Copies of this chain bind each other. A is one copy, B any other.
Amino acid sequence: MAKPAQRSYSRYAREATELLGLTIHNARVERDLTVADVAERAGVSRGLVHRIEKGEMGSSIGAAFEVAAIVGLRLFEAEPATLRRYLSLERDKFTLLPKSVRKGRTKVKDDF
Contacts and interface: CB of A to CB of B under 8 A. Distances in A.
What size tier do the contact residues of chain A reach?
35 or more
B90 A23 contact: yes
Q: Is chain A's binding surface mostly helix, strand, loop or mixed?
A: helix
Contact of A108 (B8, B33, B66, B83): B33
Contacts of A35: none
A60 B58 contact: yes
A17 B65 contact: yes
A104 to B, nearest CB: 7
Contacts of A84: 15
B90 A32 contact: no
A62 B13 contact: yes
A105 B32 CA distance: 6
Interface string A12-46: 11011111101100100101111000000101000
Contacts of A41: 110
Contacts of A15: 80, 83-84, 87
